[in-house]
């Protein structure tokens, strides 16, 4: 039986084919990516909505003047209030009990958590998310009259970088972190914004 | 660590995460500030940091380095403050244990709102508990302190 062995030419041909195939696979990524469709944007926002309506976020985005706490969103103890600037009552600001970081674990499980600039939205822009549909959350989030003048870029940075927002992923003992990984939230935000920030009906 | 308490510089040999309350009481000997719950639920340990009311039981001591701490001992220097005089005139105290914290909370309120309404008083004092139930006398004393401070201003 006659066997054939690959020639140098044959090897080179195979190698060239492999390179071309690899390049072909790379080409779509190298060309400008098409913007996500409206449907993809609405679907991406669903992840954003789930984060905003998690207790770590919505406990302070409240309709009244008394914040909520813990995973079941019960009224905050001590009758604390939002105050005229969202930072608590005169003489009893949020920072009286909420420091700039979570307390050391040696302090036990029931101490107040902390992050820089602990506060609620101010009373004139409450930015309530509780009980809203996805479309309602989306439209409220984009409304610069309600959101403190934040355009989409500012909204992105608020959710991607604000240290008080980031606290939601490391809330200390006794509190569930936001279950959606933060980098996934960032990716979905980018996708939603790239799609033109569409909202569900 | 170096701490500024009541205008005086202290050097305290303590771990960075030791609660400020422990450093004040056990190392610096300033026992006017009280331990109540140890988790910022009662207000007995209230002190001021840069003029703001803070629960010293959940404040790591190292975090207040470079800031001005004031305790109940510092409030009465050189004489009784208007708040402390009002507390005496209204005979607020029953057992007295929570009162240093109550007075420090009231001082923070009056610094922020020299003429507080009853709602202001309730909002600012709601996180300071008193098991003797002296709340109505506390409210009256805060009002009186505002008057006394106004007369001497």
Which residues, other chains included, contact A160 with Cβ-Cβ below 8 Å and sequence gap of 6+? A185, A186, A189
Higher pLDDT, B65 or A30: B65
> Which of B38, B60, B123 has its CB closest to that of A81?
B123
Q: What is the ipTM of this complex?
A: 0.95
Per-residue pLDDT, averaged over A109-136, amounts to 95
Task: Give the CATH class of B2-75.
Answer: alpha beta
Residues of A in contact with B35 (CB under 8 A): none
Residue A34 structure tokens: 């098409």
> Which of B53, B60, B116 has its CB closest to that of A104?
B60
The separation between the first and the last C-alpha atoms of chain A, rounded to the nearest angstrom, is 72
Is a pLDDT exceeding 80 seen at residue A18?
Answer: no
CB contact under 8 A, B63 and A97: no
pTM of the predicted structure, to 2 decimals: 0.86
Residues of A in contact with B55 (CB under 8 A): 96-97
Is a pLDDT exceeding 60 seen at residue A103?
Answer: yes
Residues of B in contact with A89 (CB under 8 A): 120, 123-124
* pLDDT number for residue A173: 85
Residue B107 pLDDT class (50, 70, 90 cuts): very high
The boundaries of every CATH 1.10.150.120 domain in chain B are 82-152
* pLDDT number for residue A174: 85
Query: Is B28 within 8 Å of B10 (Cβ atoms)?
Result: yes
> Which of B40, B55, B108 has its CB closest to that of A91?
B108
The β-bridge relationship of strands A74-75 and A88-89 is unpaired
Interchain CB contact of B54 with A (< 8 Å):
yes
Is a pLDDT exceeding 70 seen at residue A6?
Answer: no
* From A7-11, A70-74, A163-167, the region with the lowest mean pLDDT: A7-11
> Which of B19, B39, B112 has its CB closest to that of A110?
B39
Domain B82-152, CATH: 1.10.150.120
Closest CA to A124 of A153, A94, A83, A89: A83
Interface residues of chain A, partner chain B, Cβ below 8 Å: 77-81, 83, 89-93, 95-97, 99-100, 103-104, 106-108, 110-112
* pLDDT number for residue B78: 79
Residues of A in contact with B63 (CB under 8 A): 99-100
Residues of A in contact with B54 (CB under 8 A): 95-96
CA distances to A138, A149, B137, B147 from B144, in Å:
50, 43, 10, 5
CB contact under 8 A, B127 and A96: yes
* pLDDT number for residue A12: 43
Per-residue pLDDT, averaged over A170-186, amounts to 95
The boundaries of every CATH 3.10.20.30 domain in chain B are 2-75
CA atoms B80, B82, B88, B94: torsion sign: negative
């Amino acid at each position: 039986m006659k066997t054939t062995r690959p020639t140098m030419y044959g090897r080179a041909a195979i190698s060239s084919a492999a390179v071309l195939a690899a390049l072909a696979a790379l080409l779509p990524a190298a060309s400008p990516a098409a913007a996500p469709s409206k449907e993809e944007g609405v679907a991406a926002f669903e992840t954003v909505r789930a984060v905003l309506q998690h207790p770590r976020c919505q406990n302070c985005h409240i309709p009244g003047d008394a914040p909520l706490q813990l995973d079941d969103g019960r009224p905050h103890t001590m009758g604390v209030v939002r105050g005229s600037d969202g930072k608590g009552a005169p003489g009893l600001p949020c920072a009286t009990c909420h420091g700039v970081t979570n307390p050391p674990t040696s302090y036990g499980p029931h101490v107040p958590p902390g992050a820089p600039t602990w506060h609620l939205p101010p009373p004139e822009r409450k930015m309530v998310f509780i009980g809203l549909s996805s479309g309602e959350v989306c439209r409220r989030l984009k409304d610069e009259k309600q959101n403190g003048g934040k355009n989409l870029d500012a909204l992105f940075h608020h959710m991607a970088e604000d240290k008080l927002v980031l606290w939601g992923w490391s809330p200390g003992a006794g509190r569930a972190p936001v279950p959606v990984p933060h980098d996934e939230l960032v990716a979905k935000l980018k996708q939603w914004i790239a799609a033109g920030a569409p909202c569900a009906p | 660590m170096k701490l500024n308490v009541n205008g005086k510089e202290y050097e305290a040999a303590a771990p960075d995460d030791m609660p400020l309350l422990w450093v004040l009481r056990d190392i610096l000997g300033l026992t006017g500030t009280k331990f109540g719950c140890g988790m910022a639920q009662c207000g007995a340990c209230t002190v001021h940091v840069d003029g703001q009311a803070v629960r010293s039981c959940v404040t790591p001591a190292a975090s207040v380095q470079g800031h001005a701490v004031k305790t109940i001992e510092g409030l009465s220097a050189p004489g009784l403050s208007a708040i402390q005089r009002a507390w005496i005139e209204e005979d607020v105290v029953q057992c007295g244990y929570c009162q240093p914290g109550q007075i420090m909370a009231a001082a923070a309120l009056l610094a922020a709102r020299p003429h507080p309404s009853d709602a202001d008083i309730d909002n600012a004092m709601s996180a300071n508990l008193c098991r003797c139930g002296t709340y109505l006398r506390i409210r009256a004393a805060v009002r009186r302190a505002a008057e006394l401070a106004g007369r001497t201003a």
